[in-house]
Structure 1
Amino acid sequence: MKRRRRTRAEKQRRIVPQISPIKADEPLISDVPLIKKDLLKTLIISIFLTVLLIGIYIYLG
């Protein structure tokens, strides 16, 4: 069974994004304090895990 090939027009029609007129309820700028708080938590956890891994490496080495 042979597959049907798509024409160039069909490929271009599929690529065109559909623009949605729906607006957001709140502006994204209102989430900045929450994002900063989450990033700070992530940074603290990353530093803690890095120090822990270095400590294990030194202890075993």
Structure 2
Amino acid sequence: PHWAKMWEHVPGIVPYLRRQAGERYDRFEGIRKKYDPNGMFMNATAENARSGWANRLRM
């Protein structure tokens, strides 16, 4: 598999990324909302990771 395209299917990846990013993620999300309030630059993968939905995916 091409891991750069399949990363969201790694079990437990979203909680892991949240732990690694910590409060930097929250800061990023605040900036993202300020400059992209309508989500124009979001895609399904980014939205799934942001909302935590990808955490439920299993291989």
- Note whether the superposition's TM-score is higher than 0.5: no
Larger radius of gyration: 1
> Which structure has the higher relative contact order (CA within 8 Å, separation 6+)?
2
TM-score, length-normalised on structure 1?
0.28
TM-score, length-normalised on structure 2?
0.28
